[in-house]
Structure 1
Amino acid sequence: MNYELLCTKVIATTRLTGNFIRKEAMAFDANAIEYKGLNDMVSYVDKNAEKQLVRNLSKILPGSGFITEEDTENITDKTYTWIIDPLDGTTNFIHGIPTYAVSVALYEENEPVIGVVYEINRGEMFSTFKGGAAFLNNKPIHVSKNANLTQSLLATGFPYYQFDKQPQYMQLFTEMMQKCHGLRRIGSAAVDLAYVACGRFDAFFEYNLNSYDVAAGAYLVQQAGGKVMNFSGGAEFLETREMLATNGMVTEEILATIKKHF
């Protein structure tokens, strides 16, 4: 498998979907949203973008499986499986906040081999492939070299449903605020991880995540020299739905703080 060539094709397909989303954003009517659950919104833009992605990715790699957010197609018993979020940051999109992305990962068996995150409004295409580096608009990127947590900028996400862990999360949030330059909540885990990969954030942590939110971004961080783990320090972050992604140099202090509360 020529992963570099495959990644080039995925980038082109992801950009097409991003262009569709950008165009729809110009005339989007917030009344066109549906609710999948408490504060869990979806629109025709998410659904149509996902159908477009599935259709085009199927042409790139016929017979591959899919894990998708909007259930356009979910087939997992394949050698190659796409894990995709057509619009990560739907709440931002609906409210006209310009931070949202298309996220596409490809797994070969249980191993990531392609990761692409396209932040639509800034036109930033983050990409990586097995055997290659991590890139932003075709230029190599690397995680930050900051080893001092007190000088770090961190990213996180807030729970918007399933609030059972909110009390300990707020305790963790309070402690982390006092240990770093600041905490940011952008509203797109895919973008958060891409920003860790290129050194804008030194770390990202969040729980209650889905695989399609983070599969591509996590691979970007790893390929850019960073570390990704769950809140126990293990590698099963997709299965446990909790994640700490760092530049590798501030890991221990953040992980120790997380373990105090989770």
Structure 2
Amino acid sequence: MPGSANLNVMMKAARKAGRSLAKDFREVENLQVSMKGAGDFVSRADINAEQIIKSELMNARPTYGWLAEEGGEEEGKDPTRRWIVDPLDGTTNFLHGLPHWAVSIALEHKGQIVAGVVYDAPKDELFWAEKGEGAWMNETRLRVSGRHKMIESIFATGVPFGGRSDLPKTLQDLARLMPACAGVRRWGSAALDLAYVAAGRYDGFWERRLKPWDIAAGMVIAREAGAFVEPMDAGAELLESGSIICANNAIFEKFAQVIRN
């Protein structure tokens, strides 16, 4: 399944950063860790991974802009294109020795996400998609699940930590949703949650207050696999609002109605 030149650059960068992270993951207890804020940690491994990705992407496409979790935003000579990068989505999992984290790289063109790569290095699962070309995991074509009943469906979310102000809303979501479904999972990586919806492992996903680098790559992968992806508030701009609802087309309306109340 040959992709575009840009997609190949993205895959190479994700794999290279993933190898570096995997090496540090095996020595997680020895990592130098600093605290950025309540419940939000950054490690030396995270910063090193971003430097690897930036070097690979900007050497290949030096005119593109850049937006990343650790390195902030840089405007490129080409104002129509920028990379959106999370070098380590699932940092808390990583620092606790939980093998569920990923490298996330997206390409934005004229305000639209046109390509995305989410690399789950511990499991060597590379999720990827280009707009209009379908979604894949390694060499397997992805499609969302075919479930039509909420009571048979599993959903994923992120539960706010550290006393965040959106915790009450999420608890209300859970109170409405859990009696109507087969289960809710909280695995700690929004990028992988979206990729898992694309793969049919989850039937839907929702979360508030995410950053563009958390969801940019995953949302194009989910859409190309057949998922509906919308902002939680009608009319909002998804990457700016950071509040997302995603599900297969058969249950999206029912699911969204429960979450939007």
TM-score of the superposed pair, with normalisation by structure 1: 0.94
Structure 1, unaligned runs of 5 or more: none
Range 231-240 or range 186-195, more displaced = 231-240
SS in 2 for 1:98: coil
Corresponding residue for 2:158?
157
Deviation string 1:211-237 (CA, Å, 9 cap, x unpaired) is 001100011011111111111244622
Matches within 5 A, 1:185-204: 185-204=186-205
The count of aligned residue pairs is 258
- Aligned-pair distance for 1:131? 3.3
Corresponding residue for 1:62?
62
- Aligned-pair distance for 1:134? 0.4
Please say if residues 231 and 242 of structure 1, whose CA atoms lie closer than 8 Å, have aligned partners that are also in contact. yes
SS in 2 for 1:121: helix
- Aligned-pair distance for 1:157? 0.3
Range 75-84 or range 13-22, more displaced = 75-84
- Aligned-pair distance for 1:33? 1.1
**Structure 2: how far apart are the matches of 1:11 and 1:240?**
27
Corresponding residue for 1:236?
237
Deviation string 1:5-39 (CA, Å, 9 cap, x unpaired) is 32122112210110110011111236621111111
Matches within 5 A, 1:1-262: 4-29=4-29, 32-71=32-71, 73-76=72-75, 78-161=79-162, 163-234=164-235, 236-260=237-261
- Identity, in percent, stands at 36
- Aligned-pair distance for 1:76? 3.8
Distance 1:205 1:168, change over 3 A: same
- Aligned-pair distance for 1:130? 2.8
**Structure 1: how far apart are the matches of 2:166 and 2:59?**
42
Instruction: Specify the code of the residue in structure 2 equivalent to 1:58.
Output: M
**Structure 1: how far apart are the matches of 2:30 and 2:230?**
36
Structure 2, unaligned runs of 5 or more: none
Please say if residues 4 and 132 of structure 1, whose CA atoms lie closer than 8 Å, have aligned partners that are also in contact. no
**Structure 1: how far apart are the matches of 2:23 and 2:147?**
38
- Aligned-pair distance for 1:161? 4.2
Instruction: Report runs of 4+ in structure 1 exceeding 6 Å deviation.
Output: none
- Aligned-pair distance for 1:74? 1.5
- Aligned-pair distance for 1:153? 0.7
**Structure 1: how far apart are the matches of 2:124 and 2:101?**
11
TM-score of the superposed pair, with normalisation by structure 2: 0.94
Range 23-32 or range 216-225, more displaced = 23-32
